[in-house]
Chain A
């Protein structure tokens, strides 16, 4: 039996080996290089070989045949990382059960979503494609690189990035399950209970397996193995520090509750998502090494998000919490550099601190800071080139480069970037009214009534 399971799980690891990722060679000339970790370098070149940064310096000789990007007067920064998105996914919430750690966004990556290209247009190179927040313990998430153009979902995955999982506290899980289905959790207490219960069961489950595996070594042992549960396997992986927890949360009380749960079950790596009241418990978060991924200034969209401030990111950062700013939104994702810039108005962060919120800090939260998030020799060549400083209101992303391959070029930005076209979809084009002033406005905004009658008439 043990052999069987070893076999089953080893086949897991073999996955991903098939994916063929494009890695490019490139010389970026004469830009202001914002390294994030090692200051700014004026009129500096960046040489990329086989998708990695090979050299940073002045007047680098171009290797024969290499493609050159002239960045004179431009700013060269690490590709922006968004630690909270739901793009490139077919399915976000398995909202049927409060505990679903066995489901995995890795299985439902959709490389055709146009949102991937739009994010590239905002200088984004890596995102955390997350499960939703309907469940107290949701599904596993996937860290993806925006290699838009591939037809293979495996190619989008950032091979070797640590496993992550979505947790959720507060109104979303209590609404989905308590109100929706009349089951636990109906309250914040209930959310804590289902999480503790799941972890307790998982501990019992792995103890049973450990005991069984130990007994099997004794000669002449006869007995049945514990029943296999995929859910408890994954929960055990969380308890064994194999998965980083990303926990949707708003209120200080529930954040503090979750810190205690982590302590009780020995969970070391946790990133709180949204964390609107994080500023109230910033020292506690820092003390436990918990991180925070927040909005710049988005709140009041439901009751639990009323007590918020645009100073949140700055307060968390100044208290030593590794903090990032995320979008959780396809539109906001395209100007995350503006979102980071707001921390200079609200909190007075330096350029370096503000840019860290969308580069090296989210990289730390995803466990990929040794590979991306700053411009350093040996790191992966994920780069955004801006006209004007990225924190300026005039900042415009001109090029977005992933693994040394230009995936977005503002000068060469075709109208139709779809990879797959639905052969059955009706053609729709935008329509413009030229002479609005000549038209009768009496029924403006009410045309749908006419139309609906017409359509009703055609209905059975």
Chain B
């Protein structure tokens, strides 16, 4: 693998030398322009817009724009042809709120002690509406790639902070520099209802009071400035104020206020502010919006629902009797006949309510859709790799595929004022496209190509041993190799705990050692078994003469495993391992 990459690099280098003698004298960093910016995607199912599909057509891309969509398109000689036989192409997805590419400030503002907590500097209070997110964009941030890999091409991004972190921009999930990324600057004034950690405004109620005061002061300052501009006689020269001036485009309704509104009560509170002050409003990262759908609709706010969902309730609990003990099988028969105790009934009732709650979160998008509220999606608090799964869960909970697609493409384009240039696969639109091998919402679908602004990103799809959809399941016939050193992360109520496990072949089986955590010295594993891809190992922790046995059971998949570490009856924690590269 390493070798082939090396050879590839040499070849590329040689080609570059051949093509352009001047490059000998040019600087190493200088990028080569692509040979062509013309692409033809042939024989593909084009979903031009939700509900509008053209089968087996060709899409032509030239210089960053879609120049033709349909059948019988003549393919220019300079085009790179992508034979997308039976694949699906959609307009690139648009994300209403994200921090893709945004560098987190090194020092969390709000740790230093303030002399007079009632009157902190604006920066310490989280009041920096004049901050431009472009100043903290990093084009090589991994989140850009991660979001692009699941189909996103454009995102509205905002700075970090609490009350008024600053101005957002709409960016392409592509580009080599901050300025190359930016499509529209100052797209919204971003705000959160979160306090300033120990200084005024510390609580939500003070945040709201401060918001009102700043907005009214800004309205006042703005009026006075225009009065002064029209006739200076008899008036004091108005001073400059970066904080208040940042509100001016909001007061003029040239840009909206974009609020993070995760909880239902956040939405109520933000709409109260909007009603008090009259700005135009955008709500994003909405997770509990279903009971306030009509209020949000009445407020005229533009809305982006969160792509994060609570984890699904575990369904295998009952099968294993809630325990993963080896004894389970023998005691199972007895348990069945045992009447349920009061605690069992209580647990059942609580679990039922929890499952109902999870179902409510999952069906939020469907509720909004049925209520006739148009919405986009935002990825702010979602893990990119969960997004396709979460979309499928929303669809299973009643959202139509067309509505899901609309919320990823046409609706956000419209909400962000981008409909003229993106959101559909049409002649003249920006070449922002997602190509998947099956219909995007199919469980087995994989994204193969993403185009952002006409730049192609091809994805290498790993061929897996296990059939898709069965990943993670135990397979007694699987052949996996565990020998080597593994890094593990265990999730405990006190936080995550890193460790290191090493397995070595020992006759027909394995032996191993464990170190890390707060273990004083590496210890030998007391047992290691590997059946198919099912790995289990045990070891002892000792403290002041007491010894506690830890049992780990996990399923190995390639270079990683996932499972549980259980500590007698005291509890079971999830554990994940990754194989460390040799050397």
Contact = CB atoms under 8 A, between A and B. Distances in A.
Interface of A: 1, 4, 8, 11-12, 14-15, 18, 90-91, 93-100, 102-105, 107-108, 110, 139, 151-154, 181-183, 222-225, 227-231, 415-416, 418, 420-425, 427, 429-432, 450-451, 453-460
Nearest to A111: B265
B117 interface: yes
6 contacts: A91-B203, A103-B203, A230-B216, A425-B354, A455-B492, A459-B518
A231 B216 CA distance: 12
Contact of A154 (B224, B238, B268): B268
Contacts of B337: none
Interface string B520-551: 00000000000000000000010110101000
Contacts of B356: 421
B305 to A, nearest CB: 15
B492 A453 contact: no
Contacts of B268: 152-154
Contacts of A455: 492-494
Contacts of B541: 454, 457
A114 to B, nearest CB: 13
Given A11-B277, A427-B354, 16 more contacts: A11-B276, A96-B198, A96-B200, A97-B118, A102-B212, A103-B208, A105-B205, A107-B204, A152-B295, A222-B234, A224-B224, A224-B238, A228-B217, A423-B310, A456-B494, A460-B496
B497 interface: yes
Chain A binding site: helix, strand, loop or mixed by DSSP? loop
A93 B493 CA distance: 29
How many B residues touch the partner, as a band?
Answer: 35 or more
A4 B343 contact: no
Contacts of A182: 115
Interface string B196-210: 001111111110110
Given A420-B264, A421-B356, A453 B543 contact: yes
B346 A421 contact: no
Nearest to B495: A459
A420 B209 CA distance: 27
B117 A228 contact: no
Most chain B CB within 10 A, of A100, A139, A451, is at A100
Contacts of A423: 310-311, 354, 357-358, 360-361
B492 A458 contact: yes
A151 B264 contact: yes
Contact of B346 (A94, A424, A429): A429
Contacts of A425: 354
Contacts of A97: 117-119, 200
Contacts of B490: 458
Contacts of A424: 310-311
Nearest to A459: B494
A98 B118 contact: yes
A427 B238 CA distance: 59
Interface string B265-294: 100110010011110000000001001100
Contact of A4 (B205, B212, B219, B518): B219
A4 B546 contact: no
B146 interface: no
Most chain B CB within 10 A, of A96, A422, A424, is at A96
Contact of B217 (A1, A227, A429): A227
B223 interface: yes
A228 B216 contact: yes
B223 A1 contact: yes
A172 to B, nearest CB: 16
B235 A222 contact: yes
A222 B237 CA distance: 12
B370 to A, nearest CB: 18
A126 to B, nearest CB: 21
B209 A104 contact: yes
Contacts of A223: 234-235
B357 A421 contact: yes
A416 B353 CA distance: 9
Nearest to A92: B203
B349 interface: yes
A148 B357 CA distance: 19
A44 B110 CA distance: 62
> When A and B form their complex, which 3 residue pairs have the shortest distance between CB atoms, in order from nearest?
A97-B118, A222-B234, A423-B310
Contacts of B208: 103-104, 107-108
B14 interface: no
A94 B196 CA distance: 11
Contacts of B219: 4, 8
A94 B207 CA distance: 10
Nearest to A456: B518
Most chain B CB within 10 A, of A4, A231, A421, A450, is at A421
B200 A94 contact: yes
Contacts of A105: 205
Nearest to A183: B116
Contacts of B292: 151-152
B118 A90 contact: no
Contact of A421 (B236, B269, B354): B354
Contacts of B10: none
B58 to A, nearest CB: 45
A152 B492 CA distance: 36
A397 to B, nearest CB: 25
B573 to A, nearest CB: 7
A459 B360 CA distance: 35
Contact of A102 (B204, B209, B217, B546): B209
Contacts of B361: 423
Contact of B349 (A95, A99, A107, A416): A416
Contact of A224 (B236, B265, B544): B236
A450 B546 CA distance: 9
